[in-house]
A and B are shown apart, each in its own frame.
Chain A
Amino acid sequence: MKYQTQKIALAYFAVALALFAVQVLIGLVMGFVYVVPTFLSDLVPFNILRMLHSNSLIVWLLLGFFGAAYYLLPEESEREIHSEKLAYLQLGILVLGTLGVVVTYLFNLFEGNFLLGKEGREFLEQPRWVKAGIVVAALIFLFNVSMTVLKGRKTAITNILLLGLWGLALLFLFAFYNPSNLALDKMYWWYVVHLWVEGTWELVMASILAFLMLKLTGVDREVVEKWLYVIVAAALFSGILGTGHHYYWIGTPGYWQWIGSIFSSLEVIPFFAMMAFAFVMVWKGRRDHPNKAALLWALGCATLAFFGAGVWGFLHTLHGVNYYTHGTQITAAHGHLAFYGAYVCLNLAIITYAMPHLLGRDPYNQVLNMASFWLMSSGVVFMTFVLTFAGTVQTHLQRVMGEEYMAVQDQLAVFFWMRFGAGIAVVLGALLFIYAVFVPRREVIEPGISQPAE
């Protein structure tokens, strides 16, 4: 660790990973509710569990991004973070808001209250006071990192990262605008939801991946930057009007079906480019970086993002297909692999890379960390396959044959049991990862004799 303030990242990563554990545990409970629907139904209904599952995911990914920014910006701009105090204040506000959200959801406090009660919009359910807190925290963050970058060296990586983070924060403001017309409500809602995950977050992803490739493979910065600009251009070109693939059936004009189909089909390209980028850099790179686990996560991220976001997204993005598959388990399959591949793996990659520096240890426990990669990834991939089959059967029975929703759900039970099994693997993998980055101080397996001495 070259700069003292990089240490801020440790606190962010710790809170992020704690929430990650909460998120996957709640996911596992939900997987069980799918097969035994009465489980916990009086205590914590499924819709509350789902809010907690999706909201904790989003919050921990964001905390990971913030942590990553605090970690890589000093190295890139070659100076300390502007204010350490502000960074911890920002984390404090976010933790307070998160706790407030959890308590409000669980006990359904202040229902209907303008300021304190939860708002009913999916993913944006947070009470208004929490939303305001998020904005304050975002402003503090943007001020802090922008001051750091402005005074320091400017690189393509910092530029793209800041562009992504600024865009992310500004788009969140649409969370406050909630027109009573349901079609308009949904239209603006996607400005946050879609333009985050298929716009600004992709910029954050590309820049963090570029940073990791730069460090892990030792390829020239110039080469990395050229790829970065191409990827970002492709992401914005396809992603912005790609929002149209959410406007097929919400009451917006029919031309969105073609705009959405065409532009969102092209969203595969930046994900393919990121995968190609990661592998080409590793092939070209001469550096034999000891942190093999970080490299595994980075390559896994690019690959699974291409399949989860790119291929599985394309599966149901054309409006002729989506007419039948909309809101079935196909969506769930895509959602799980896309978020896991693109953003979970990305965060775990930068955490795996940064932790040895933050804790002042050598790259350690590659074996446990890598095992957690394979366990977690196999779990999510298996879950994706199972849900895809479930969605295909569901689409046919429900949308083609016209059977009742609940009657169809009963016939999907075998898939939901397998998904529950996959969930156990994911939870074990996540816990193993957390253990592997925090606890052991020595490598589990000594490097073999066949490896040349350094």
Chain B
Amino acid sequence: MSDLLDELPGEPMMWVLIVSELLVFGAGLAALSAMRLTDPAGFAEAQAHLHRAGAALNTVVLVTSGCLAALAVRAAQSGREGRKRVLLVGAMALGVVFLVIKGQEYAAKSAQGIDWETHPFFTFYYLLTGFHAAHVAAGIVLLGLVAVLRDPRATETGAAFWHMVDLVWVLLFPVVYLIR
């Protein structure tokens, strides 16, 4: 097992975290889908309150940010520190844009009087997107940290985490916002 971990890019412990995160979000999405079966009409009605266009825009924002992080890894590997930093700051800025759009979404829900307890769908909505947003915030801090460090392995580690945040969103978006 330890040899397998060593072959992965970046810090091996990051991959332990990534697998754990995917298990948690996967279980959450599975639970949401299972609960949806018990009350399809209620879940569809609740889901209709979501702002799909904003979430689609956020998908574009986050995937673009992931692309910048991937380019930053290449820059780090070829020793172009300045380019790496610019790309990472770009990725972080798009992360902030994601959070701003997300914040507006939450504010709109709150204005409509929707909270955790309104419907089981919203319990999952807030848990899944809230946990995800917390990871975006943590990822921004992590990218900032690896932007300062001169070690390409650190950039690989930070980008691996950031891609996980990306991947989770790409899974959340259809299950939470689109599928009826």
A contact set with B: CB distance below 8 Å: 223, 226-227, 229-230, 233-234, 237-238, 253-255, 258-259, 261-263, 265-266, 269, 280
Residues of A contacting B116 with CB < 8 Å? 253-255
> Which B residues are CB-close (under 8 A) to A254?
116-117, 123
- Could you say which residues of chain B place their CB within 8 Å of the CB of A262? 24, 27-28, 31
User: How many positions in chain B have a CB within 8 Å of any CB in the partner chain?
Assistant: 19
Q: Hey, which bits of chain B sit against chain A, CB under 8 A?
A: 1-2, 5, 12-13, 16-17, 20, 23-24, 27-28, 31, 116-117, 123-124, 126-127
Extra A-B contacts (7), CB below 8 Å, given A227-B1, A262-B28? A223-B2, A226-B12, A230-B13, A233-B20, A234-B20, A262-B27, A266-B23
- Find chain B residues with CB under 8 A from A269 CB: 20
Which among A255, A259, A265 has the highest number of chain B CB atoms within 10 Å?
A255
Give the 9 A-B CB pairs with smallest separation, nearest first. A226-B2, A262-B27, A237-B20, A233-B16, A255-B123, A230-B16, A255-B116, A255-B127, A262-B24
Q: List 29 A-B contacts (CB under 8 A).
A: A226-B5, A226-B12, A227-B1, A227-B2, A229-B13, A230-B5, A230-B13, A230-B16, A233-B13, A233-B17, A233-B20, A234-B16, A234-B20, A237-B17, A238-B20, A253-B116, A253-B117, A255-B116, A255-B126, A255-B127, A258-B31, A258-B127, A261-B31, A262-B31, A263-B24, A265-B27, A266-B23, A269-B20, A280-B1
- In whole angstroms, how far apart are the Cα atoms of A263 and B5 in the complex? 23
Residues of A within 8 A of B16 (CB): 230, 233-234
Residue of B nearest to A257 (CB): B123
Contacts of A265 in B (CB 8 A): 27
Interface of B (DSSP majority class): helix
- In the assembled complex, how far is the CB of residue B164 from the closest CB belonging to chain A, in whole angstroms? 13
Known: A223-B2, A255-B123. Is A266-B13 also a contact (CB below 8 A)? no
Closest to B28 in A: A262
Residues of chain B within 8 A (CB-CB) of A237 are 17, 20
Q: In the complex, which residues of chain A have a beta carbon less than 8 angstroms from the beta carbon of B1? A: 227, 230, 280
Q: List the A residue with the shortest CB-CB distance to B24.
A: A262
In the complex the two chains form, what is the Cα distance from A259 to B13 in whole Å? 23
Q: Is the interface of A mostly helix, strand, loop or mixed?
A: helix
- Which residues of chain B are within 8 angstroms of A234 by Cβ–Cβ distance? 16, 20
Once the chains are docked, how many angstroms separate the CA of A294 from the CA of B13?
30
A255 to B32, CA, bound (A): 12
In the bound complex, residues from chain B placing their C-beta under 8 Å from that of A229 are: 13
Residues of chain B within 8 A (CB-CB) of A253 are: 116-117
Bound: A263/B28 CA distance, A: 10
Q: How far is the CB of B158 from chain A (nearest CB, A)?
A: 17
- The listed residue (A233, A238, A258, A280) touching B28 by CB distance below 8 A is A258
CA distance A238 to B16 in the complex (A): 12
A199 to B116, CA, bound (A): 28
User: In the complex the two chains form, what is the Cα distance from A354 to B5 in whole Å?
Assistant: 33
Give the CA-CA distance A252 to B2 in the complex, in Å: 41
Chain A: CB-nearest residue to B128: A258
Q: Which residues of A contact B123 (CB under 8 A)?
A: 254-255, 258
A233 to B17, CA, bound (A): 8
Chain A residues, Cβ within 8 Å of B28: 258, 262
Whether A258 contacts B17 in the complex (CB less than 8 A), given A226-B2, A253-B116, A266-B24, comes out as no
Contacts of B2 in A (CB 8 A): 223, 226-227
Cα A25 to Cα B26 in complex, Å, equals 46
The CA of A159 and the CA of B170, in the complex, are separated in Å by 38
Residues of B within 8 A of A280 (CB): 1
B130 shortest CB reach to chain A, Å: 9
- Complexed CA–CA distance, A266 and B17 (Å): 12
Measured CA separation A226–B16 after assembly (Å): 11
A226 CA / B6 CA spacing, docked (Å) = 10
Residue of A nearest to B32 (CB): A258
How far, in Å, is B51 (CB) from chain A's closest CB?
22
Residue of B nearest to A225 (CB): B2
The CA-CA distance from A254 to B116 in the complex, in Å, is 8
- Residues of A with C-beta under 8 A to B27: 262, 265
Q: Give the distance to chain A from B2, nearest Cβ to Cβ, in Å.
A: 4
From residue B1, how far is it (CB to closest CB) to chain A in Å?
Answer: 8
Residue of B1, B13, B123, B124 with most chain A CB atoms under a 10 A cut-off: B1
Q: For A261, what are the chain B residues with a Cβ–Cβ distance below 8 Å?
A: 31
Q: How far is the CA of A237 from the CA of B20 in the complex (A)?
A: 8
Residues of B within 8 A of A227 (CB): 1-2
CB distance from B118 to the nearest CB of A (A): 11
Residues of B near A263 (CB, < 8 A) are 24
Which residues of chain A are within 8 angstroms of B23 by Cβ–Cβ distance? 266
- Select from chain A the residue with minimum beta-carbon distance to B123: A255
Residues of B within 8 A of A226 (CB): 2, 5, 12
Assembled-state Cα–Cα distance A261/B12 (Å): 27
Tell me which residues across on chain B come within 8 A of A258, comparing CB atoms.
28, 31, 123-124, 127
Q: Which residue of A lies closest to B35 (CB)?
A: A258
Cβ of A17 to closest chain B Cβ, rounded Å: 36
For residue B117, which residues in chain A have a CB less than 8 angstroms away from its CB? 253-254
Contacts of B31 in A (CB 8 A): 258, 261-262
